A and B are shown apart, each in its own frame.
Chain A
């Protein structure tokens, strides 16, 4: 089955860290660009970070630059998001999403809550 499955979310205190993972299956993960996208409760979609298929090109939204790090392991069919110095405004459902020329597969998301 073609799917993306996120994991690693949870409750963390402000200033803390979390590492999200996204496991890909059923397609050639190494051929696809990937994004992390988040959605705060009751709000719209917000792009967080992009990584090229090889991992050589990486972009971040200004809101997370310097705090979040995206990476991938094509041998393990996995995408990661290391999140440091977390703030209350980072509370959201985090989705990983593949970006093909004519397709876009999304996972069901993992919830991150930043609260004391």
Chain B
């Protein structure tokens, strides 16, 4: 099975840039997705295919990939961006989520 590793927490002040990394061997050959989950709510897709943004997701959300690491960047983080963020990838007969990163914006 595959594993994806994320930092447990990231903290920024409003208006700063937040970067959340996700590492795993599978990412060298498969795309990643990023999901945002706010307390008591279902996850929302914010990035797919490493760097593509679904319609309706603010432009401040972007993604990038390098080797076995993908990065979610929130440029000019807002208070409303405070949430848990999960990377996700699919390979062969497996799908896997990262452990999640709690983003604090204050």
Residues of A within 8 A of B (CB): 35, 37, 44-47, 50, 59, 61-62, 95, 97, 101-104, 106-109
Contact = CB atoms under 8 A, between A and B. Distances in A.
Interface in B54-103: 54, 84, 86, 88, 90, 93-100
Interface string B19-51: 000000000000001010100001111001100
Contacts of A44: 84, 86, 97-100
B98 to A, nearest CB: 8
Nearest to A47: B95
A34 B7 CA distance: 28
B56 to A, nearest CB: 10
Contacts of A102: 48-49, 52, 54
A45 B6 CA distance: 13
Nearest to B42: A106
B33 A45 contact: no
A95 B35 CA distance: 14
A9 to B, nearest CB: 14
Contacts of B45: 103-104
Contact of B33 (A59, A62, A104, A107): A104
Nearest to B41: A108
A47 B42 contact: no
Contacts of B49: 102
Contact of A45 (B90, B93, B97): B97
7 contacts: A37-B97, A44-B86, A44-B99, A45-B37, A46-B97, A59-B94, A95-B43
Given A47-B95, A47-B96, A62 B42 contact: no
A58 to B, nearest CB: 9
A45 B95 contact: no
Given A62-B1, A104-B45, A50 B37 contact: no
Which of A35, A45, A97, A102 has the most C-beta atoms of chain B within 10 angstroms of its own C-beta? A45
A35 B45 CA distance: 14
B97 A47 contact: yes
B43 A59 contact: no
